[in-house]
Amino acid sequence: MNRYSKITAAFIAGLFFTTLATTTSAQSKINQDSIAQKMGWFEDAKLGIFIHYGIYAVNDVSESWSFHNKQVTWPAYMSQLSGFTASKYDPTAWANLFKEAGARYTVITTKHHDGVALWDTKEKHYDVIRNTPAKKDLIDPLVNALRKNDIKVGAYFSLIDWSHPDYPGFLKDSSRYKVADDPLRWKRFQGFFQNQLTELSTKFNPDLWWFDGDWEHSAEEWESSKVRTNLLAKNPGTIINGRLQGYGDYETPEQNFPVVRPSFRWWELCMTTNNNWGYRKSDTNWKTPYEIISIFVDAVSNGGNLLLDIGPKEDGTIPNEQVNILKELGKWNRKHGESIFGTIGGIPQGHFYGPTTLSKDSTTLYLFLHGKTSGPVMVKGLDNKIKSVEVLGNGTKLTSKVVGKISWSPVPGLIYINVPATTLDTYITVLKVKLDKPIKLYRGKGGLG
C-alpha cells in the first residue's frame, strides 16, 4: 500500500475491522467518522495551489533532485543559497492571485528534500533566514495573507532531508549509513524532524499537511503513527496527505491523470504548469489555460481535487505565464463555479462523452463540453425527466429532445440537446441540466427486463 492510506483504504473497502496495529476496530470506526467530517471542506474545495519555492529557483536546476541525481554537485547546488533574495516577495499579492483563480487552499514547501527551511526554525540546519540574503521567514507572512483571504493553509514537508548529516540518504546510489548499523544516529534525525514538525504545527497550525518522500523509509522509521497522533492532538481537524506510509487521509496521484474514476474516496491530482515543480528559466513548456481547465474539470468530475503547482522565481515573483494561467482559470471559475465548487463527481462515462458533475442533491447534472463541441450532444440512459437546460454563465435556455422512448417501456430514450455554436465558452462550455428528481441511471439490457 505504498503512498496509500491504510486508514482510508480500510474505510473504502468497508473494512472497519482493520488490522491497523494501533487501532481496535471500534476506534477505527470512530476515526472514520471523524475523518469524513474533517474532510468536508477539502471535498468541496476542488482547487488548491501548490507552491514550490526554494533556492533551486536561482540557477535553473530541478528542486533537490538535481544534486541527488548528480546533475550538479551538492556544493554547487547549495551555492544557490547566496543568490536567494526573495527581494520582491509579496505574499499579499500571491494570496490575492490565488483567490482570483478560485483556489480554496494552498500547499507551500516549508522544506524540500534539500533541507532548506523557509521558516524561522530553531533547529541548527539550513534555513532562508540565516543562510540566504532573503533573511526573513517566508512562511509566516504568507500564512497570514492566506487566512485573511479565507484560503486554507497547507504545509508541504519533506521527510527526506538529503543535506542533513544524520540523514542516511544523500546522492543517488550512495548513502551515509544504514539505519540498522547506527540506530542512535537515526534517532537523532528523528528528534530533529519531529522538532521541526512541532515548530510548524505550533507556529502555523496548518489546515493540511502534505508530506513527501516517505518512500525512503518505513512507517516505523518515520514514526508515522506518532507524527499523526501529535499533529492531530494539536489540531484534530487537520488533514494529512497519503505520503506518510499509510497514515494519511487521502491519495495523491502525481502528474498522472487517472483513466478511470479512482476507487479511493478522497484524492487530489498534483500537477505542474510546465514540466517542473520549481521555477526553471529554461522550461517553457507551459500548459495552456485550456489544458489546465480541462485537467481540472476531469479531476473534479472524477471526484477529486486539483493541486495546481506554481514555481516562483527566486525574488518571489510568479512567472507571467503562471499568472496568466491562474487568471484565466479564475475567469472560467467565476462563470462556471456553480458546476465545480461544492459539487460531487458525475455519472459514469458512457452516459455522456465528456466530464460531468452533480449538485449534492443530484437533481442537477452539469455537462462539460470539451473543445468546441456544438450541435446535438447526447446523453444515454438517463431515467429522469428534464426540467430545463441552460448554458451556464450565459443564461441561454436550450431545448432537449427525447428519441426512441416507448411510453409503456421502462427503457429511457436517448436525449439530444442542441448547443448553438454562438453560446460556446472560450475554453469549456457547461450545460446545466435540471432534473425532475435525484438522478436515476438506466444501465439495463433494454426490452421489458
Binding mask 206-245 toward ligand GLC (x if CB under 6 A, else -) reads ------x---------------------------------
Task: Give the nearer residue to ligand GLC in terms of CB position, either 65 or 126.
Answer: 65
In the complex, the smallest distance separating the C-beta of residue 47 from ligand GLC, rounded to whole angstroms, is 16
Task: Give the nearer residue to ligand GLC in terms of CB position, either 6 or 113.
Answer: 113
Task: Give the nearer residue to ligand GLC in terms of CB position, either 74 or 290.
Answer: 74
In the complex, the smallest distance separating the C-beta of residue 160 from ligand GLC, rounded to whole angstroms, is 8
Task: Give the nearer residue to ligand GLC in terms of CB position, either 223 or 268.
Answer: 268
- Residue 251 interacting with ligand GLC (CB under 6 A): no
In the complex, the smallest distance separating the C-beta of residue 156 from ligand GLC, rounded to whole angstroms, is 7
- Residue 63 interacting with ligand GLC (CB under 6 A): yes
Task: Give the nearer residue to ligand GLC in terms of CB position, either 277 or 332.
Answer: 277
Using CB under 6 A as the binding criterion, the count of chain residues that bind ligand GLC stands at: 7
- Residue 254 interacting with ligand GLC (CB under 6 A): yes
- Residue 314 interacting with ligand GLC (CB under 6 A): no
- Residue 270 interacting with ligand GLC (CB under 6 A): yes
In the complex, the smallest distance separating the C-beta of residue 384 from ligand GLC, rounded to whole angstroms, is 40
Separation of alpha carbons 415 and 162, rounded Å: 58
Task: Give the nearer residue to ligand GLC in terms of CB position, either 94 or 277.
Answer: 277
Task: Give the nearer residue to ligand GLC in terms of CB position, either 6 or 52.
Answer: 52
Q: Which of 193, 250, 277, 296 binds ligand GLC (CB under 6 A)?
A: 277
Write phi, then psi, for 228 (nearest 5 degrees).
-60, -45
Q: Which residues of 17-36 are buried (b: 16+ CB within 10 A; e: fewer)?
A: ebebeebeeeebbebbeebe
In the complex, the smallest distance separating the C-beta of residue 367 from ligand GLC, rounded to whole angstroms, is 31
In the complex, the smallest distance separating the C-beta of residue 56 from ligand GLC, rounded to whole angstroms, is 9
In the complex, the smallest distance separating the C-beta of residue 299 from ligand GLC, rounded to whole angstroms, is 15
Task: Give the nearer residue to ligand GLC in terms of CB position, either 54 or 354.
Answer: 54
Q: For residue 350, what is the DSSP state?
A: T
> Cβ(194)–Cβ(226) under 8 Å?
yes
In the complex, the smallest distance separating the C-beta of residue 147 from ligand GLC, rounded to whole angstroms, is 24
Task: Summarize as ranges the residues that interact with ligand GLC (CB under 6 A).
Answer: 52, 63, 65, 212, 254, 270, 277
